[in-house]
Amino acid sequence: MEPRMNISVIITVYNLEKYIEDCLNSVLRQEGVVFEVICVDDVSTDSSFDILCDYQKRDARVKVIRNNRNMGLSSTRNAGFRMAKGEYLYSIDGDDMLEQGALKRMYECAKANGLDMLGFSAQSFFESDSYREHAIEDEYLRKADCNSIQNGTELFVNLYEKGEPVISNMCLYCIRSEFFNRNNLFDAEGLRYVDDSMFLKYAKAQRAMCIPDVLYKRRYREGSAVTSPMKKIYLESMLVLFIEEFSYWKQMENQLENHENEVISLYFQRRLQEIDSTFHMF
Protein backbone atom coordinates (compact mmCIF):
# COMPACT_ATOMS: atom_id res chain seq x y z
CA MET A 1 0.00 0.00 0.00
CA GLU A 2 1.41 3.36 -1.04
CA PRO A 3 1.88 5.96 1.75
CA ARG A 4 -0.63 8.80 1.80
CA MET A 5 0.48 11.77 -0.27
CA ASN A 6 1.18 14.66 2.11
CA ILE A 7 1.82 17.48 -0.37
CA SER A 8 1.36 18.05 -4.08
CA VAL A 9 3.90 20.53 -5.41
CA ILE A 10 2.75 22.24 -8.60
CA ILE A 11 5.48 23.83 -10.74
CA THR A 12 4.42 26.13 -13.58
CA VAL A 13 6.88 26.37 -16.46
CA TYR A 14 7.22 28.54 -19.53
CA ASN A 15 10.61 29.00 -21.21
CA LEU A 16 12.66 28.41 -18.07
CA GLU A 17 15.46 26.21 -19.40
CA LYS A 18 18.05 28.25 -17.47
CA TYR A 19 16.27 27.86 -14.14
CA ILE A 20 14.00 24.82 -14.02
CA GLU A 21 16.72 22.40 -12.91
CA ASP A 22 17.54 24.59 -9.91
CA CYS A 23 13.87 24.60 -9.00
CA LEU A 24 13.36 20.85 -9.43
CA ASN A 25 16.52 19.96 -7.54
CA SER A 26 15.49 22.15 -4.60
CA VAL A 27 12.12 20.35 -4.44
CA LEU A 28 13.34 16.79 -5.00
CA ARG A 29 15.95 17.04 -2.23
CA GLN A 30 13.20 17.66 0.36
CA GLU A 31 13.00 15.02 3.09
CA GLY A 32 10.64 13.90 5.84
CA VAL A 33 7.41 14.21 3.83
CA VAL A 34 5.67 12.21 1.08
CA PHE A 35 5.16 14.43 -1.96
CA GLU A 36 4.57 14.48 -5.69
CA VAL A 37 5.82 17.09 -8.14
CA ILE A 38 3.40 18.08 -10.90
CA CYS A 39 5.14 20.09 -13.61
CA VAL A 40 2.85 21.91 -16.04
CA ASP A 41 4.51 23.23 -19.18
CA ASP A 42 2.69 26.05 -20.97
CA VAL A 43 4.01 25.06 -24.41
CA SER A 44 7.56 26.31 -23.88
CA THR A 45 9.52 27.11 -27.06
CA ASP A 46 12.91 26.37 -25.47
CA SER A 47 14.16 23.07 -23.99
CA SER A 48 12.12 23.33 -20.76
CA PHE A 49 9.72 20.53 -21.67
CA ASP A 50 12.57 18.16 -22.60
CA ILE A 51 14.25 18.85 -19.26
CA LEU A 52 10.99 18.10 -17.41
CA CYS A 53 10.54 14.83 -19.29
CA ASP A 54 14.08 13.80 -18.42
CA TYR A 55 13.39 14.35 -14.72
CA GLN A 56 10.14 12.38 -15.04
CA LYS A 57 12.07 9.40 -16.41
CA ARG A 58 14.56 9.53 -13.54
CA ASP A 59 12.24 10.20 -10.58
CA ALA A 60 8.83 8.59 -10.08
CA ARG A 61 7.68 11.54 -7.96
CA VAL A 62 7.76 13.82 -11.01
CA LYS A 63 4.72 14.01 -13.27
CA VAL A 64 4.75 16.19 -16.39
CA ILE A 65 1.78 17.53 -18.32
CA ARG A 66 1.73 20.01 -21.17
CA ASN A 67 -1.01 22.37 -22.24
CA ASN A 68 -2.42 21.89 -25.73
CA ARG A 69 -1.73 25.55 -26.40
CA ASN A 70 -0.17 28.46 -24.57
CA MET A 71 -2.79 29.41 -21.96
CA GLY A 72 -1.10 31.70 -19.44
CA LEU A 73 -0.32 31.26 -15.78
CA SER A 74 -3.80 30.92 -14.29
CA SER A 75 -4.96 28.04 -16.48
CA THR A 76 -1.54 26.39 -16.26
CA ARG A 77 -1.59 26.46 -12.48
CA ASN A 78 -5.18 25.19 -12.40
CA ALA A 79 -4.22 22.18 -14.51
CA GLY A 80 -1.73 21.19 -11.83
CA PHE A 81 -4.19 21.73 -9.00
CA ARG A 82 -6.77 19.50 -10.71
CA MET A 83 -4.28 16.66 -11.03
CA ALA A 84 -3.03 16.91 -7.43
CA LYS A 85 -3.57 14.04 -4.98
CA GLY A 86 -1.85 15.47 -1.92
CA GLU A 87 -3.51 16.40 1.36
CA TYR A 88 -2.00 19.87 0.94
CA LEU A 89 -1.26 21.94 -2.15
CA TYR A 90 1.80 24.02 -2.78
CA SER A 91 2.56 25.99 -5.96
CA ILE A 92 6.02 27.21 -6.90
CA ASP A 93 7.21 29.23 -9.89
CA GLY A 94 9.67 27.28 -12.01
CA ASP A 95 12.43 29.88 -11.69
CA ASP A 96 12.39 29.96 -7.88
CA MET A 97 13.56 27.48 -5.22
CA LEU A 98 12.73 25.97 -1.86
CA GLU A 99 14.89 26.06 1.22
CA GLN A 100 16.03 22.70 2.59
CA GLY A 101 13.38 21.24 4.90
CA ALA A 102 10.65 23.57 3.60
CA LEU A 103 8.03 20.94 2.71
CA LYS A 104 8.45 19.11 6.01
CA ARG A 105 8.04 22.37 7.95
CA MET A 106 4.97 23.37 5.91
CA TYR A 107 3.23 20.05 6.28
CA GLU A 108 3.97 19.43 9.93
CA CYS A 109 2.87 22.92 10.96
CA ALA A 110 -0.31 22.86 8.84
CA LYS A 111 -1.23 19.32 9.90
CA ALA A 112 -0.51 19.74 13.62
CA ASN A 113 -2.66 22.88 13.75
CA GLY A 114 -5.45 21.66 11.46
CA LEU A 115 -4.93 24.62 9.14
CA ASP A 116 -6.77 25.47 5.95
CA MET A 117 -3.94 27.79 5.00
CA LEU A 118 -0.39 28.42 6.18
CA GLY A 119 1.66 31.45 5.18
CA PHE A 120 5.42 31.85 5.59
CA SER A 121 8.36 34.03 4.55
CA ALA A 122 10.62 34.14 1.51
CA GLN A 123 14.04 35.59 0.83
CA SER A 124 14.56 37.49 -2.41
CA PHE A 125 17.72 37.08 -4.43
CA PHE A 126 18.87 38.87 -7.56
CA GLU A 127 20.67 37.76 -10.71
CA SER A 128 22.33 41.15 -10.79
CA ASP A 129 22.19 44.39 -8.83
CA SER A 130 20.22 46.03 -11.64
CA TYR A 131 17.12 44.05 -10.62
CA ARG A 132 17.10 45.42 -7.09
CA GLU A 133 15.11 48.44 -8.30
CA HIS A 134 12.13 46.15 -8.84
CA ALA A 135 11.85 44.97 -5.25
CA ILE A 136 12.63 45.53 -1.62
CA GLU A 137 15.02 42.79 -0.60
CA ASP A 138 13.10 41.81 2.54
CA GLU A 139 9.59 42.44 1.17
CA TYR A 140 8.56 38.81 1.68
CA LEU A 141 9.89 38.51 5.23
CA ARG A 142 7.14 38.40 7.82
CA LYS A 143 8.04 40.49 10.84
CA ALA A 144 4.84 40.77 12.89
CA ASP A 145 3.82 38.17 15.48
CA CYS A 146 0.88 36.49 13.73
CA ASN A 147 1.75 32.85 14.36
CA SER A 148 -1.40 32.00 16.29
CA ILE A 149 -4.40 30.20 14.81
CA GLN A 150 -7.12 32.59 13.62
CA ASN A 151 -9.92 32.48 11.13
CA GLY A 152 -8.74 33.85 7.82
CA THR A 153 -10.54 37.18 7.99
CA GLU A 154 -9.12 37.94 11.44
CA LEU A 155 -5.65 37.05 10.24
CA PHE A 156 -6.04 39.16 7.10
CA VAL A 157 -7.09 42.19 9.14
CA ASN A 158 -4.27 41.72 11.66
CA LEU A 159 -1.66 41.36 8.94
CA TYR A 160 -2.93 44.35 6.98
CA GLU A 161 -2.97 46.59 10.03
CA LYS A 162 0.62 45.64 10.82
CA GLY A 163 1.82 46.34 7.29
CA GLU A 164 2.45 42.69 6.53
CA PRO A 165 2.03 41.32 2.97
CA VAL A 166 -1.47 40.04 2.19
CA ILE A 167 -1.44 40.39 -1.60
CA SER A 168 1.82 38.59 -2.10
CA ASN A 169 2.81 35.59 -4.15
CA MET A 170 0.76 32.40 -3.80
CA CYS A 171 4.10 30.59 -3.51
CA LEU A 172 4.16 31.82 0.09
CA TYR A 173 1.21 29.65 1.12
CA CYS A 174 0.48 25.97 1.70
CA ILE A 175 -3.25 25.21 1.38
CA ARG A 176 -5.32 22.19 2.43
CA SER A 177 -6.69 20.43 -0.66
CA GLU A 178 -10.15 19.72 0.74
CA PHE A 179 -10.56 23.38 1.71
CA PHE A 180 -9.26 24.53 -1.68
CA ASN A 181 -11.56 22.30 -3.71
CA ARG A 182 -14.65 22.77 -1.55
CA ASN A 183 -14.40 26.54 -1.95
CA ASN A 184 -13.44 26.39 -5.63
CA LEU A 185 -10.30 28.47 -5.09
CA PHE A 186 -8.91 27.91 -8.56
CA ASP A 187 -7.53 30.93 -10.40
CA ALA A 188 -9.78 32.69 -12.91
CA GLU A 189 -9.22 30.84 -16.18
CA GLY A 190 -7.49 32.50 -19.10
CA LEU A 191 -5.50 35.19 -17.30
CA ARG A 192 -2.09 35.60 -18.94
CA TYR A 193 -0.65 37.01 -15.73
CA VAL A 194 -1.95 36.20 -12.26
CA ASP A 195 -2.02 38.95 -9.67
CA ASP A 196 -1.83 36.74 -6.59
CA SER A 197 -4.28 38.58 -4.41
CA MET A 198 -5.12 36.24 -1.56
CA PHE A 199 -8.21 37.92 -0.08
CA LEU A 200 -10.68 35.19 -1.08
CA LYS A 201 -8.51 32.45 0.35
CA TYR A 202 -8.12 34.32 3.64
CA ALA A 203 -11.82 35.16 3.78
CA LYS A 204 -12.91 31.54 3.36
CA ALA A 205 -10.36 29.95 5.71
CA GLN A 206 -11.59 28.87 9.14
CA ARG A 207 -8.11 28.12 10.52
CA ALA A 208 -5.12 30.05 9.23
CA MET A 209 -1.68 31.03 10.45
CA CYS A 210 1.42 32.85 9.21
CA ILE A 211 4.89 31.92 10.47
CA PRO A 212 8.13 33.88 10.04
CA ASP A 213 10.16 30.89 8.76
CA VAL A 214 11.95 31.51 5.44
CA LEU A 215 10.95 28.52 3.29
CA TYR A 216 11.08 30.01 -0.21
CA LYS A 217 13.73 31.67 -2.37
CA ARG A 218 12.32 34.30 -4.74
CA ARG A 219 14.43 35.00 -7.84
CA TYR A 220 14.52 38.37 -9.61
CA ARG A 221 15.80 37.89 -13.14
CA GLU A 222 15.70 39.23 -16.65
CA GLY A 223 12.41 38.58 -18.41
CA SER A 224 10.34 37.69 -15.36
CA ALA A 225 6.85 39.13 -14.90
CA VAL A 226 8.09 41.32 -12.06
CA THR A 227 11.03 42.84 -13.93
CA SER A 228 9.34 43.11 -17.33
CA PRO A 229 7.70 46.36 -18.47
CA MET A 230 4.09 46.68 -17.33
CA LYS A 231 1.67 45.21 -19.86
CA LYS A 232 -2.08 45.46 -20.29
CA ILE A 233 -2.44 41.82 -19.31
CA TYR A 234 -1.38 42.77 -15.76
CA LEU A 235 -4.16 45.33 -15.59
CA GLU A 236 -6.67 42.73 -16.79
CA SER A 237 -5.70 40.41 -13.96
CA MET A 238 -5.94 43.16 -11.36
CA LEU A 239 -9.42 44.14 -12.56
CA VAL A 240 -10.78 40.58 -12.71
CA LEU A 241 -9.56 39.75 -9.21
CA PHE A 242 -10.70 43.07 -7.75
CA ILE A 243 -14.26 42.50 -8.97
CA GLU A 244 -14.27 38.91 -7.71
CA GLU A 245 -12.92 39.84 -4.29
CA PHE A 246 -15.01 42.98 -3.81
CA SER A 247 -18.20 41.10 -4.72
CA TYR A 248 -17.45 38.44 -2.13
CA TRP A 249 -16.73 41.02 0.56
CA LYS A 250 -20.09 42.74 -0.08
CA GLN A 251 -21.78 39.37 0.45
CA MET A 252 -20.04 38.76 3.78
CA GLU A 253 -19.71 42.25 5.29
CA ASN A 254 -22.88 41.99 7.38
CA GLN A 255 -21.30 39.02 9.19
CA LEU A 256 -18.16 40.95 10.12
CA GLU A 257 -17.31 43.32 12.95
CA ASN A 258 -17.26 47.04 12.14
CA HIS A 259 -13.50 47.22 12.61
CA GLU A 260 -12.93 44.32 10.23
CA ASN A 261 -15.02 46.01 7.55
CA GLU A 262 -13.16 49.27 8.07
CA VAL A 263 -9.79 47.61 7.49
CA ILE A 264 -11.01 45.61 4.51
CA SER A 265 -12.47 48.79 3.04
CA LEU A 266 -9.03 50.39 3.30
CA TYR A 267 -7.57 47.37 1.55
CA PHE A 268 -9.94 47.75 -1.40
CA GLN A 269 -9.30 51.50 -1.58
CA ARG A 270 -5.61 50.76 -1.89
CA ARG A 271 -6.27 48.14 -4.56
CA LEU A 272 -8.26 50.70 -6.54
CA GLN A 273 -5.38 53.15 -6.29
CA GLU A 274 -3.00 50.49 -7.60
CA ILE A 275 -5.32 49.74 -10.51
CA ASP A 276 -5.62 53.44 -11.30
CA SER A 277 -1.85 53.86 -11.16
CA THR A 278 -1.34 50.87 -13.46
CA PHE A 279 -3.97 52.20 -15.91
CA HIS A 280 -2.14 55.51 -16.21
CA MET A 281 1.08 53.73 -17.17
CA PHE A 282 -0.36 53.11 -20.66
| Res 136 pLDDT > 80 | no
* Residue 141 reports pLDDT greater than 60: yes
Model pTM greater than 0.75? yes
Query: What pLDDT was estimated at residue 73?
Result: 87
Which residues, listed in sequence order, are joined to residue 35 by a DSSP beta bridge?
Answer: 7
Among 77-86, 115-124, 150-159, 182-191, the least confident range: 182-191
Mean pLDDT on 159-177: 87
Which of 144, 85, 154 has the alpha carbon at shortest distance from 117? Answer: 154
- Region 252-273: what's the mean pLDDT? 95
Query: Above 70 in pLDDT, residue 24?
Result: yes
Specify burial of residue 204 (Cβ count, 10 A radius: 0-12, 13-18, 19+): buried
Residues 106-114, mean pLDDT to the nearest whole number: 97
Of all residues in the chain, the percent with pLDDT exceeding 90 is 67
pLDDT digits (tens, 9 = 90+) for 199-251: 999 999 999 999 999 999 988 756 545 434 456 777 888 888 899 999 999 99
Helices (H), 7-96: 20-28, 48-58, 73-83
Among residues 268, 269, 261, which one has the least CA distance to residue 246?
268
Least confident span in 119-123, 209-213, 266-270, 273-277: 273-277
Average pLDDT, the chain: 89
Of the ranges 9-13, 190-194, 219-223, the best mean pLDDT one: 9-13
Mean local confidence (pLDDT), 123-151: 74
DSSP 149: -
Please report the pLDDT score of residue 228 as a whole number.
Answer: 46
| Residue bearing the bigger pLDDT, 250 or 168 | 250
Mean pLDDT value of segment 44-64: 98
Share of the chain above pLDDT 70, in %: 89
149 pLDDT higher than 70: yes
What would the mean pLDDT of 6-17 be, rounded to a whole number? 96
pLDDT at residue 98 greater than cutoff 90? yes
Output the CA angle 48-49-53, nearest 5 degrees. 120
192 vs 230 pLDDT, higher one = 192
Contact between 204 and 185 (Cβ < 8 Å): yes
Kindly provide the b/e burial profile for residues 207-244, where b requires at least 16 CB atoms within 10 angstroms of the residue's own CB: bbbbbebebbbbbbbeebeebeeeeeebbbbbebbbee
What is the per-residue pLDDT for 282?
66
pLDDT number for residue 15? 95
